[in-house]
Amino acid sequence: MRALRSMGPIFLVLAVLLVLIAAANPFFLEPAGFLAFVKRAAPLVILAAGQYFVIVSGEFDLSVGSLVTVQVVVAARLIDGEESATWWVLALLIVIGLLVGLVNGVITTGLRVPSFITTLGMMLVLSGAVFLWTGGAPRGALSETFRMFGRKDLGAVPWSVLILLVMGGAAIMLMRSDFGKRLMATGDNERAAGLSGVRVNRTRILAFVISGLAAAVAGILLGGFAGVSAQVGQGLEFQAITAVVLGGVALGGGRGSVVAAMAGALTLEALFTLLNLYGISGALEYAVQGVIIIAAVAAGAVRLPFKRVARA
């Protein structure tokens, strides 16, 4: 119990939810059942990890949802069912993700536009531009190889779980590196970090680039899992931010761990699964979600000194 406490409340909540799921659905305890759950959660967990870097640096990224849609729609049109096109399109998607993150970062730091506005604008531009390009609805088709990452298994383990492990591991290592310390310092107190020699702008830009990369990978996994859809990314930005905050990461920056942020995403996914299992009508599901988010953040905030955020 003490060990759980020291890890932070989110893990306790996650554990409770997982036990409740297992009680209602014993298949969940088998490796295949549990892996299926992780596979389903993987895109959101990866998005949350990316969003964590932005939030801990004191910013928001609202553009990730439409970036996911862009990834899937662009992939479908460019691949157009051709297996041979898969690999260069995958590379291109990663580049698009990095580039969108770079633009978000440069506008936010260089032009001093609050990231809420930068990424809100980016969200409008991305979703408008991609459908302008395809004439309103997705066209083309994804290849089998492309879909493998979100859909198929390598041996007994789904590809997306492996990709999640790699991305999650990389995120943890990044936060332990010098970059992670600089990022934390930037989010905690920009001026102090700057005075102690941190290149604040460059650090923030890198955080946006990481978020863009995470959105690209999440888009590849979601497109693989369920195929072409015009609304694949809808609302994901709010889910990702919610997940990070559930993990006890403070909006405004400087506080919280990336592991907890990813646990927050798992918790959110477990909550959806549980509500589904207990047959709560679709509508009330939202109300329950709202109560839990506020309760969890309030619980986390009581311990911390109140820190006002809206930092531009």
Give the CA distances from residue 50 to residues 43, 147, 233, 286, in Å, rounded to whole numbers and listed in that order: 11, 22, 15, 24
Q: Which stretch binds other proteins (CB under 8 A): 4-12, 164-172, 178-186, 200-208?
A: 4-12
13 in contact with other proteins (CB under 8 A): yes
Look at the chain and count its residues: 312
CB of 207 to other proteins, least distance (A): 18
144/82 Cα distance (integer angstroms): 9
Q: For residues 84 and 281, which CB has a smaller minimum distance to other proteins in the complex?
A: 281
29 in contact with other proteins (CB under 8 A): no
Total residues in contact with other proteins, by rule CB under 8 A? 97
DSSP single-letter state for residue 306 = P
| Tokens found for residue 102 | 């770079």
Q: Which stretch binds other proteins (CB under 8 A): 16-24, 167-175, 190-198, 204-212?
A: 16-24
Q: Which of 31, 155, 197, 279 binds other proteins (CB under 8 A)?
A: 279
Burial of residue 279 (CB within 10 Å: 0-12, 13-18, 19+) is exposed
| Tokens found for residue 311 | 């930092």
DSSP single-letter state for residue 250 = P
260 in contact with other proteins (CB under 8 A): no
Q: Which of 151, 184, 186, 217 binds other proteins (CB under 8 A)?
A: 151
Q: For residues 13 and 184, which CB has a smaller minimum distance to other proteins in the complex?
A: 13
What are the φ/ψ torsions at residue 7 (nearest 5 degrees)?
-80, -10
Contacts with other proteins in 59-88 (CB under 8 A)? 60, 76
141/224 Cα distance (integer angstroms): 11
One-letter amino acid identity for 274?
L
Give the CA distances from residue 25 to residues 19, 240, 268, 277, in Å, rounded to whole numbers and listed in that order: 10, 26, 18, 8
194 in contact with other proteins (CB under 8 A): no
Contact pattern for other proteins over residues 222 through 241, marking x by CB under 8 A: x--xxxxxxxx-x---x--x
CB of 258 to other proteins, least distance (A): 19
309 in contact with other proteins (CB under 8 A): yes
Q: For residues 59 and 182, which CB has a smaller minimum distance to other proteins in the complex?
A: 59
Residue 200: alpha-carbon gap to chain centroid: 23
Contacts with other proteins in 206-225 (CB under 8 A)? 222, 225
Residue with tokens 């999640």: 164
Whether the CA torsion 177, 205, 94, 264 is positive or negative: it is positive
Q: Which stretch binds other proteins (CB under 8 A): 170-178, 206-214, 253-261, 284-292?
A: 284-292
Q: Which of 3, 31, 112, 178 binds other proteins (CB under 8 A)?
A: 112
